């Protein structure tokens, strides 16, 4: 038996938007599903050093729930980490109880397990082995995109992200309209300096609009069909038949970069 642990990007990335990260995670999950690579479970990591779950952190967790779907909660492990970074352990215990009662209770009722990670390799292996013993699962977003042919914006998770994309597009359009008025006024006043400044600002706003429009187009793309075509092309152009190797080829990544393979109890890939 081979076990592959894949570290997916988190939604708290400061350099990429939630839409870009959801797109990447969805492509990964759909490729895994179409290639028939078994998925036994997911591990959600939460830093116990973080303050109360609210704002963006709460939205990210809600997105994670939508990606999984209630039918997959039994194959999810919720893990609190970084306990050794707390000056006062009682603060961690208080936050742990808050998480369990206010935020994680629905998933726990649905079969999710909760662990406070002590940093040991034994506990890490125990969590992984526990998930490896479960039956294969199919996540909600995999069914929505692959089986039902939905675009990303029409998925349960995508509907949480789409408003922010449209909001940024409207902001950019409004900014461009305002700058057009400023430019026209500068032309009437024959103010070359102000006009040049406003035109540079408009160029930046147009670039922003183009980036957000590109994200919107990705959200409207048929990822399921795209992935199938990519898999077919990878099979034709490569001699690789192993599921993991094809998976890496489809996503344009190397296995060594994508996978953290754990040789547990003498098991090798």
From the number of C-beta atoms within 10 Å of its C-beta (0-12, 13-18, 19+), residue 268 rates as exposed
Query: Does residue 183 share a domain with residue 74?
Result: no
Query: Does residue 215 share a domain with residue 168?
Result: yes
Query: Does residue 115 share a domain with residue 13?
Result: yes
Query: How many structural domains comprise the chain?
Result: 2
Note the pLDDT of residue 257: 41
Residue 114: phi and psi, rounded to 5, are: -120, 130
Range of the domain at 192: 159-219
Q: Does 268 have pLDDT greater than 90?
A: no
Mean pLDDT throughout 17-32? 90
Task: Give the separation between CA 52 and CA 48, rounded to whole angstroms.
Answer: 9
* Tokens 């939205």, located at residue: 59
Query: Does residue 257 share a domain with residue 210?
Result: no
Domain boundary among 180, 200, 219: 219
What tokens were used for 256?
């060594």
Query: Does residue 89 share a domain with residue 62?
Result: yes
Residue 123: phi and psi, rounded to 5, are: -70, -40
Query: Does residue 240 share a domain with residue 203?
Result: no
- 80, 48 in Cβ contact below 8 A? yes
- 196, 219 in Cβ contact below 8 A? no
Query: Does residue 187 share a domain with residue 57?
Result: no
Query: Does residue 145 share a domain with residue 180?
Result: no
From the number of C-beta atoms within 10 Å of its C-beta (0-12, 13-18, 19+), residue 104 rates as buried
Helix (H, G, I), strand (E, B) or coil at 79: strand
Task: Output the pTM of the full model.
Answer: 0.82
pLDDT digits (tens, 9 = 90+) for 51-68: 877 778 888 899 999 999
Query: Does residue 229 share a domain with residue 206?
Result: no
Note the pLDDT of residue 261: 42
Task: Give the separation between CA 157 and CA 140, rounded to whole angstroms.
Answer: 9
Query: Does residue 190 share a domain with residue 148?
Result: no
């Amino acid at each position: 038996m081979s076990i592959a642990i894949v570290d997916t990007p988190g939604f708290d990335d400061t350099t990429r938007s939630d839409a870009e990260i959801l797109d990447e995670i969805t492509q990964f999950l759909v490729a895994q599903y179409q290639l028939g690579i078994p998925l036994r479970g997911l591990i959600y990591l939460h830093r116990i050093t973080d303050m109360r779950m609210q704002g963006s952190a709460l939205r990210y967790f809600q997105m994670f729930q939508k990606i999984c779907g209630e039918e997959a909660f039994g194959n999810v492990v919720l893990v609190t980490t970084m306990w050794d970074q707390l000056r006062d352990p009682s603060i961690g215990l208080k936050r742990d109880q808050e998480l369990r009662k206010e935020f994680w209770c629905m998933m726990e009722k649905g079969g999710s397990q909760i662990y406070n990670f002590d940093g040991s390799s034994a506990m890490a292996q125990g969590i992984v082995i526990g998930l490896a013993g479960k039956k294969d699962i199919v996540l909600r977003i995999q069914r929505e995109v692959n089986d039902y042919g939905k675009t990303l914006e029409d998925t349960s998770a995508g509907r949480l992200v789409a408003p922010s994309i449209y909001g940024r597009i409207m902001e950019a359009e409004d900014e461009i309209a305002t700058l057009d008025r400023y430019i026209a006024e500068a032309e009437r006043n024959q103010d070359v300096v102000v006009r040049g400044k406003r035109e540079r600002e408009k160029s930046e706003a147009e670039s922003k609009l183009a980036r957000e429009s590109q994200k919107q187009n990705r959200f409207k793309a048929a990822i399921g069909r795209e992935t199938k075509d990519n898999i077919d092309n990878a099979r034709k152009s490569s001699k690789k038949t192993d599921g993991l190797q094809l998976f890496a080829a489809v996503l344009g990544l190397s296995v060594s970069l994508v996978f953290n393979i754990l040789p547990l109890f003498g098991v090798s890939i």
